[in-house]
């Protein structure tokens, strides 16, 4: 560098890379102009680009000073490459103006500016780019005929421009003014989330304000779909960011056979990152006005839950109806686990009339519970408050209060899993439960008593035959104490304590196991296969006691005598599979030097089981059962179960459960079940059920998918539920069609049908939801 040839930047040299086509320009008259010359060119370019920015870069511009004094103020990161290409580059000293003209192309870091002509005033910081302006910063792109920008305020105006702001905001306008760090004011412009030059949808407005990652606010807004104007509104505001936003959702419009015309409006409140609340008003032409509240919260990883409630003044039944659901999970100090699941309904038929889920509409019971659990080692203590309502309708009345309610208020349980007793070879487990029980029938107390149930078990595993056979004898004693017997439990004014004691013992023999290994070679993906044969036999004895005087609340109160032997034979096929090497991100890589890793996976399991019940006098042999499980890979699974009655000489229970997924293009699940109840004395079938549940999803293309589900009562040749869904997902919009048909009793209707179409626009959510 020649003396006086240019400033030093932060103690080092800033050496841009130049690619220029220049002409020699002499000084002329009273308006001296600097020409572009050889090695001194970088000085001129540096002063020109010090403050150059259009959208996001910020350097402090120079004031009207000499070159020497300005060098003390300029700060550029050393060794950052900067390039400029132009046909000519000049400086007007009197006007404090730098001018680049002819195919101007300026690059610095991730910023690139191209134009026919660029002018920069070093004093005011004003910059003007003319003709075919293209500005790129990262993935954001701006195109315009003319750009005026001030590098001090970082504000400016774009004329006849369009901008692509990632991830998916596309703006056009006759005049686009940058009024804030992330805000733009647009005159006679458009907005869309579609990347196509011919967008599927767009909003055109006379005036709008867009804040990146916040809101679009427009006046005289017209919605175009495929170039056709469909909707006008004098004012529109909607969020244009991915996270949840507070505001009104697009209304639901529809119709159903039992409810009539339906119009639903929802206000969604995004309280904060961990809480939200939605308030919905549904108008049903035949039923009245329904109000719905849905509050969800996640305070931290140990505390979360939600509240859902709805109420309706049902004009069809002339009654106020509704339901309330509350769920909560929280870990309290001292590692206390709290779970709450509260479900309340006004009547037994509310869910059938107003819910859309088949599971909810056919629900037979409704459970509410609150529990606090403390775990320590292999033991736990649980305090439970439980309420179980019977929702099965009876009679012809539409509105029916629960006819039976069972309550445990409270139940205290102390349980110990099977564990070694101190340092001895003896194992111990126990279950101790104290319950305060109450049953209400049609509003009247039918049973009310307390019960203490104690059930310890002691076992001693013994290894023999070179540890290939395990014999485990066990002894148990179950003592159950009642505050009332069967008679006084229904009489509040009387009490007669009673108890029941049952002695039991048994022994289980497992093994010896037989195995054979098949070596397939290290070059195979499955290097080895192992076939295992596992026999097992189990004997159980439980003392027979008279239980006729005990109150009957649940299965604890009626424990059957046992004197039976059961045995099974299990075949397993295991595979030792070589894993493909992966990098730290879990991506498969090719590395011949990597140490091979293996996993052992069960491929097939086949079990046969049978038993003999010596408490029976006529039919001692139990059903012969077989279970086949096939687990080839990933989500694919096949399970087949069947049960054969040796006395009736027929299969009385069979089921198939099949799940598969092929490259996320085809997913299918099949559940088939068939059950018979047979009178063994006459070999007559007294009851038969057979159901098929089929769910198939196909991705026809990357953007088009079809899902079909049917639940079919094979025995009665009746469809219980059919759901057909079609989805088209484009880059900026999606269309979902859903047809559902459910066979449920709805007063005068036996079938409920719904046809729903939902059009969703990116950033806007649902534009329309229509049910028929």
Q: Which residue has the higher pLDDT, 237 or 50?
A: 237
Mean pLDDT of 89-117: 84
Neighbour-count burial for 715-724, b at 16+ CB within 10 Å, e otherwise: eeeeebbbbe
Given pLDDT bands bounded at 50, 70 and 90, which one contains residue 262?
confident
**Strand pairing class (169-178; 718-729):** unpaired
In the DSSP assignment, the letter for residue 713 is E
pLDDT in tens, 656-697: 999 999 888 999 999 999 999 999 888 889 999 999 999 999
Angle at 638 between CA 632 and CA 644, to 5 degrees: 135
Mean pLDDT of 438-444: 86
Mean pLDDT of 51-69: 32
Residue 55 has pLDDT above 60, yes or no: no
pLDDT in tens, 303-359: 999 999 999 999 988 899 999 999 999 999 988 999 999 999 998 888 888 887 878
Given pLDDT bands bounded at 50, 70 and 90, which one contains residue 465?
confident
Q: Based on C-alpha coordinates, what's the Rg of the chain?
A: 39
Q: Which residue has the higher pLDDT, 536 or 178?
A: 536
Looking at residue 54, its pLDDT comes to 31
251/768 Cα distance (integer angstroms): 7
Share of the chain above pLDDT 90, in %: 44
pLDDT in tens, 598-650: 888 899 999 999 999 999 988 999 999 999 999 887 789 999 999 999 999 99
Residue 565's DSSP bridge partners are: 539, 612
Given pLDDT bands bounded at 50, 70 and 90, which one contains residue 241?
low
Residue 732 has pLDDT above 90, yes or no: no
Given pLDDT bands bounded at 50, 70 and 90, which one contains residue 402?
low
Three-class HEC string of 685-700: EEEEEEEEEEEEEEEC
331/302 Cα distance (integer angstroms): 5
Q: Which residue has the higher pLDDT, 626 or 83?
A: 626
Given pLDDT bands bounded at 50, 70 and 90, which one contains residue 137?
confident
Mean pLDDT of 560-586: 86
Residue 519 has pLDDT above 70, yes or no: yes
Give this prediction's pTM: 0.72
Mean pLDDT of 300-304: 93
Neighbours of 373 (CB within 10 A): 15
Neighbours of 274 (CB within 10 A): 12
Q: Which residue has the higher pLDDT, 65 or 711?
A: 711
Closest Cα partner for 640 from 618, 668, 612, 608? 608
Looking at residue 414, its pLDDT comes to 97
Neighbours of 484 (CB within 10 A): 23
Residue 261 has pLDDT above 60, yes or no: yes
Mean pLDDT of the chain: 82
Looking at residue 9, its pLDDT comes to 29
Mean pLDDT of 182-193: 88
Maximum Cα–Cα distance for the chain, whole Å? Answer: 128
Instruction: State CA 63 to chain mean position distance.
Output: 56
Looking at residue 573, its pLDDT comes to 95
628/634 Cα distance (integer angstroms): 18
Looking at residue 206, its pLDDT comes to 93
Mean pLDDT of 737-763: 74
Given pLDDT bands bounded at 50, 70 and 90, which one contains residue 655?
very high
- Sorted by where each begins, the domain ranges of the chain are 1-162, 167-242
Neighbour-count burial for 313-329, b at 16+ CB within 10 Å, e otherwise: ebebbeeebbbbbbebe
- Is 39 strand, coil or helix? helix
Looking at residue 443, its pLDDT comes to 76
Looking at residue 589, its pLDDT comes to 61
Flag the least confident range among 11-20, 258-267, 291-300, 364-373: 11-20
Cα-based torsion angle of the residue sequence 202, 203, 204, 208 in order, rounded to the nearest 10 degrees? -140
Sign of CA dihedral 357, 735, 275, 267: negative
Looking at residue 69, its pLDDT comes to 33
Q: Which residue has the higher pLDDT, 374 or 13?
A: 374
């Amino acid at each position: 560098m020649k003396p006086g040839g240019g400033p030093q930047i932060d103690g080092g040299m800033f050496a841009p890379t130049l690619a220029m086509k220049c002409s020699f320009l002499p000084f002329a008259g009273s308006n001296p102009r600097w020409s572009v010359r050889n090695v001194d060119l970088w000085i001129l370019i540096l002063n020109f680009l010090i403050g150059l920015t259009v959208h996001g870069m910020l350097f402090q511009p120079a004031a009207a000073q000499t070159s020497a004094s300005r060098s003390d103020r300029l700060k550029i990161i050393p060794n950052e490459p900067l390039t400029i290409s132009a046909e000519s580059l000049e400086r007007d000293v009197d006007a404090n103006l730098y001018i680049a003209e002819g195919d101007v192309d300026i690059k610095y870091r991730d910023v690139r500016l191209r134009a026919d002509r660029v002018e920069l005033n070093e004093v005011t910081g004003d910059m003007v780019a003319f003709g075919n302006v293209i500005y790129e910063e990262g993935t954001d792109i701006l195109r315009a005929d003319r750009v005026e920008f001030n590098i001090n305020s970082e504000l400016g105006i774009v004329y006849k421009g369009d901008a692509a702001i990632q991830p998916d905001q596309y703006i056009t306008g006759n005049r686009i003014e940058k009024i804030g760090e992330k805000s733009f004011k647009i005159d006679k412009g458009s907005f869309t989330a579609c990347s196509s030059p011919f967008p599927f949808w767009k909003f055109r407005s006379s005036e709008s304000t867009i804040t990146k990652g916040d809101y679009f606010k427009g006046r005289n807004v017209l919605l175009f779909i495929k170039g056709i104007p469909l909707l006008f509104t004098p004012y529109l505001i909607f969020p244009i960011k991915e996270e949840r936003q507070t505001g009104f959702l697009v209304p639901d419009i529809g119709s159903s056979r039992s409810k009539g015309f339906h119009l639903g409006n929802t206000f969604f409140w995004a309280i904060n990152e961990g809480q939200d609340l939605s308030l919905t008003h549904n108008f049903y032409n035949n039923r009245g006005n329904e109000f719905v509240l849905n509050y969800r919260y996640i305070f931290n990883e140990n505390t979360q839950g939600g509240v859902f409630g709805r109420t309706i003044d049902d004009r069809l039944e002339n009654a106020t109806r509704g339901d309330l659901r509350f769920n909560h999970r929280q870990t309290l100090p001292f590692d206390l686990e709290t779970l709450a699941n509260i479900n309340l309904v006004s009547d037994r038929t509310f869910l059938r009339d107003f819910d859309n889920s088949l599971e909810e509409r056919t629900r037979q019971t409704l459970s509410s519970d609150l529990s606090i659990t403390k775990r320590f080692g292999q033991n736990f203590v649980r305090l439970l408050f439980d309420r179980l309502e019977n929702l099965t309708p009876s009679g012809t009345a539409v509105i029916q209060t629960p006819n039976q309610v069972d309550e445990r208020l409270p139940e205290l349980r102390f349980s110990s899993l099977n564990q070694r007793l101190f340092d001895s070879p003896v194992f111990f487990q126990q279950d101790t439960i104290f319950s305060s029980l109450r049953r209400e029938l049609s509003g009247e107390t039918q049973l009310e008593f307390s019960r203490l149930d104690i059930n310890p078990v002691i076992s001693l595993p013994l290894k023999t035959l070179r540890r290939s056979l395990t014999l485990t004898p066990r002894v148990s004693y179950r003592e159950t104490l009642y505050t009332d017997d069967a008679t006084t439990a229904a009489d509040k004014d009387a009490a007669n304590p009673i108890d029941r004691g049952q002695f039991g013992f048994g022994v289980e023999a497992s093994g010896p196991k037989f195995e054979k290994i098949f070596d397939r070679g290290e070059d195979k993906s499955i290097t080895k296969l192992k076939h295992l044969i596992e026999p097992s036999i189990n004997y159980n004895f439980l003392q027979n006691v008279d239980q006729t005087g005990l109150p009957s609340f649940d299965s604890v109160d009626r424990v059957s005598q046992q004197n039976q032997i059961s045995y099974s034979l299990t075949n397993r096929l295991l595979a030792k599979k070589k894993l493909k090497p992966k990098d730290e991100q879990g991506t498969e890589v090719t590395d011949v030097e990597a140490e091979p890793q293996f996993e052992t996976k069960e491929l097939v399991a086949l079990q046969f089981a049978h038993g003999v019940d010596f408490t029976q006098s006529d039919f001692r042999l139990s059903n012969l059962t077989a279970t086949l499980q096939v687990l080839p890979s990933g989500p694919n699974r096949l399970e087949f179960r069947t049960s054969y009655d040796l006395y009736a000489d027929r299969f009385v229970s069979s089921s198939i459960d099949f799940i598969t997924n092929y490259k996320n293009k085809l997913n299918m699940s099949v559940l088939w079940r068939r059950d018979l109840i047979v009178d063994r004395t006459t070999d007559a079938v007294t009851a038969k059920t057979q159901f098929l549940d089929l769910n198939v999803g196909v991705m026809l293309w990357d953007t088009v998918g079809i899902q079909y589900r049917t639940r079919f009562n094979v025995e009665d040749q009746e469809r219980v539920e059919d759901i057909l869904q079609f989805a088209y997902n484009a880059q900026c919009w999606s269309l979902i069609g859903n047809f559902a048909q459910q066979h449920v009793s709805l007063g005068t209707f036996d079938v409920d049908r719904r046809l729903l179409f939902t059009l969703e626009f990116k950033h806007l959510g649902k534009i329309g939801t229509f049910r028929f």
